[in-house]
A and B are shown apart, each in its own frame.
Chain A
């Protein structure tokens, strides 16, 4: 009972905060924050599965989120037929070569050839694959990127409904997680964190530089939406009637309705994932995971395949992060590789999970909600604080101007302080993991 009381108290405090913003700033802002809170909570759920259930330190959250964003582009953007006819075949052949190369590599690795042969064959396969990629891929990429570089210059996507990309994003992130996990999961915690940090950086570099796929730093704008556009709502008669009957302002209401529809879609995802994670945690599988986390050696002695379970959970968590990434890109309607920064994407999500309480799904939800809320509201709060502190100085004092312009960066300091304080004084977080 105590648990339930505590949960309802914390969640209702958060609800009050959102309502407060709604009245104080505007409902548009409040809903905007809440939508991102939902996405943050999804990411936190994914990280919690890895960090909380199994104690895996994945510092590559950013990379998986970006892969989700990529899938949103590939699924929803309409195909650019000109570039496909220019270089689509070349790219397809390259993908086939890559697949063939990896299959060959695996065959050689699994075969019972002697080490000496393997040592020659492996580099040979890599060199042949790289060479043929250069020979076939480079001209194709050049042709694609040369086509109207200011407006297009990439292959586009499949032109399917963007909601589909949420699933595909999860699948892509899961596949990449499989490859990464195969290599890195044998490592101890510190190395794993460093290795995954590196992988995330590499993924972002690829997305920034492979213009034929993502337009790179030129960004992809105007992704289709799963919900109606404000402008369409404002022109449809039933909506105008509705607003007139209730006396709502037309423009503001339309944008609130759009945000509410996003909110509805995201809530379904978050609730489903939450229920699934709770069920998984309470199931024998979840108990096994925690047993492995708490004492790997005895779990192994009980005959559990620790490496396979870790891989499983790494894929699962990463897939959820990928899904959240696709949701984020859907909400923003554009894909901007430069916005993926480890402080914002990887470490903030960690803070969410740790503050909420590692291993507790309620904790991840509230951690995602609260931390994102603070992340957004830190800016006005920081500005207010700085203005208060510097108010004795004159308006034109350069120090004051400097501090006020930099006040938005207080949010990093606040995140750091929050993490350090929670880690020190309440290391189990808001909702400690239950037994």
Chain B
């Protein structure tokens, strides 16, 4: 019984939030990794792309709500997600056309691409703050919990319990579906295979008649779509803050690098590794240990490795360790 109590505690405070946050990171890292695989640069604007997608979704949600549209128990934002994806993909299309296409033609150094992506980041950040303002927006209507802690306790008779938020269930399910679609697309379809071929060896891909412009545009559209999903799901789960997305760049890059840059499976695994370790390291184990250890050994302190304020530092430390010990990442991606 004590063991089950401890498990419920860990599920509530580490596993569920960890898998939710990990899913959001995984979607973000997938976008970064795809851009890296095909265009060969680290896209610093990716965080702002997520923010952009979420913003469009919020604007349409407000519009929809003013006409009385809602999605019952689910958040209204989900209805307008496709529109937001369309807009973000269009924005990515313009960014590629007006910014990156030129450097691609000139075969510029990756670092020039990186600087250009910082320009795009600045512009997008300004655009977002100009349109929606710098303050927080809560746009999650719908039912908050599928079942909450109290209901769980009553149902199972345990002392501790966990609640499942609607946003958590949506995030984890959506990520599973999206990843499966993406992997089927990359491995089974002709277009997906041409993308992989282009990423593996550009010259050979060109020789075999793959249209580079098509591949690049498609990559941007997919990255934009994934970014929108990540941004909206993050906003639904926590809250939409324009400035938080620049801070999320670090865990997202860490996830991509830890998994192996340019490797989609690595990006997903990396997202979960980063998110779970952030929570495992900053969780206070006092109550859990109280259940697991005999009474005489009950700990007096919080039993916390690191204060919760240093969550972001964890992803950074993991990044540094991976960079030193295994620079190609867990799944042997490319080295930058």
* Interfacial residues, chain A to chain B (CB-CB below 8 A): 55, 57, 130, 134, 183-184, 187-191, 193-195, 197-199, 201-202, 205-206, 208-209, 341-343, 347, 350-351, 354, 402-403, 405-407, 409-417, 419-420, 423-424, 427
Asked whether B186 is an interface residue with its Cβ less than 8 Å from the other chain, the reply is: no
Flag if B307 contacts A209 (CB, 8 Å).
Answer: yes
In the complex, which residues of chain B have a beta carbon less than 8 angstroms from the beta carbon of A191?
Answer: 257, 323, 327, 336
Hey, which chain A residues are within 8 Å of B41, CB to CB?
Answer: 190
Check B180 for interface membership: any CB of A closer than 8 A: no
Q: A199 to chain B: which residues have CB within 8 Å?
A: 316
A198-B122 contact, Cβ under 8 Å, with A193-B114, A208-B309, A406-B133: no
- Decide if B130 touches A343 in the complex (CB within 8 Å): no
Report yes or no: A198 in contact with B254, Cβ–Cβ below 8 A: yes
* A194 pairs with B129, CB closer than 8 A: no
Q: Which residues of A contact B316 (CB under 8 A)?
A: 195, 198-199, 201-202
Which residue of the partner chain B has the closest CB to A193?
Answer: B114
Q: Chain B contact residues (Cβ within 8 angstroms of A): what range? A: 35 or more
Q: Closest CB of chain A to B136's CB: distance in Å?
A: 15
Could you tell me if B336 and A188 are in contact, using CB atoms closer than 8 angstroms?
yes
A134 CB contact (under 8 Å) in B118, B119, B301, B312: B301
**Contact string, B106-126, partner A, CB cutoff 8 A, digits 1/0?**
000011101110111111111
- Whether the pair A417, B110 counts as a contact (CB closer than 8 A) is no
Report yes or no: A402 in contact with B133, Cβ–Cβ below 8 A. yes
| A188 in contact with B129 (CB, 8 Å) | no
A-contacting 9-mer, from B79-87, B140-148, B242-250:
B242-250
Asked if A416 and B110 make an inter-chain contact with CB atoms under 8 angstroms apart, the answer reads no
- A414 and B116: CB pair below 8 A? no
B254 to chain A, nearest CB (A): 7
* Residues of A contacting B324 in the complex (Cβ-Cβ under 8 angstroms): 183
For the complex, give the distance between the alpha carbons of A424 and B119 in Å.
11
Assess the B110–A190 pair: CB atoms within 8 A: yes
B116 to chain A, nearest CB (A): 6
| CB < 8 Å neighbour of B120 from A193, A205, A420 | A420
A423/B116 contact (C-beta < 8 A), A194-B250, A201-B250 known: yes
CA A424 – CA B67 in complex, angstroms?
A: 44
In terms of DSSP, what is the predominant structure of the interface of chain A? helix
29 A–B contacts, CB within 8 A, in A order: A134-B301, A183-B320, A184-B323, A187-B327, A189-B110, A189-B114, A190-B110, A190-B114, A191-B327, A194-B253, A195-B319, A195-B320, A198-B254, A202-B310, A202-B313, A347-B118, A406-B130, A406-B134, A409-B134, A410-B126, A412-B122, A412-B125, A413-B123, A415-B126, A416-B125, A420-B123, A423-B112, A423-B119, A427-B112
Question: What chain B residues lie within 8 Å of A57 (beta carbons)?
Answer: 111, 114
Residues of B within 8 A of A423 (CB): 112, 115-116, 119
A417 adjacent to B111 (CB under 8 Å): no
Q: Nearest-CB distance from B87 to chain A (Å)?
A: 18
Most buried by A among B127, B130, B309: B130
- Bits for B309-331, please: 1 = Cβ < 8 Å to A, else 0: 11011011001100110010000
Q: Are A197 and B249 in contact (CB under 8 A)?
A: yes
Q: Say whether B42 faces chain A, with CB atoms less than 8 Å apart.
A: yes
Note all chain A residues with C-beta closer than 8 A to B247. 201
Residues of B within 8 A of A341 (CB): 243, 246
Partner of B335, one of A130, A188, A409, A419: A188
When the two chains form the complex, which single residue of A202, A347, A407 contacts B122, counting CB atoms closer than 8 Å?
A347
A409 CB contacts on chain B under 8 angstroms: 126, 129-130, 133-134
State which residues 242-273 of B face A: CB under 8 Å: 243, 246-247, 249-250, 253-254, 257
Does B131 touch A at the CB level, under 8 Å?
yes
Q: Which of B42, B323, B327 has most A Cβ within 10 Å?
A: B323
CA distance A301 to B94 in the complex (A): 44
Please, which residues of chain B bring their CB within 8 A of the CB of A410?
126, 130
B99 is an interface residue with CB less than 8 A from chain A: yes
Contact flag A419-B309 (CB < 8 Å), given A194-B253, A341-B243: no
The 7 closest A-B pairs by CB, nearest first: A416-B123, A412-B126, A416-B122, A413-B126, A409-B129, A198-B316, A419-B119
Given contacts A197-B249, A406-B131, contact A414 B243 (CB under 8 A): no
CB nearest to B308 among chain A residues: A209
Query: How many angstroms from the CA of A209 to the CA of B126 in the assembled complex?
Result: 28
CB distance from B129 to the nearest CB of A (A): 4
Q: Is B102 interfacial (CB 8 A cutoff)?
A: yes
Known: A134-B301, A197-B249, A343-B122. 7 other contacts (CB 8 A): A57-B114, A191-B336, A194-B250, A201-B312, A209-B310, A412-B123, A412-B126
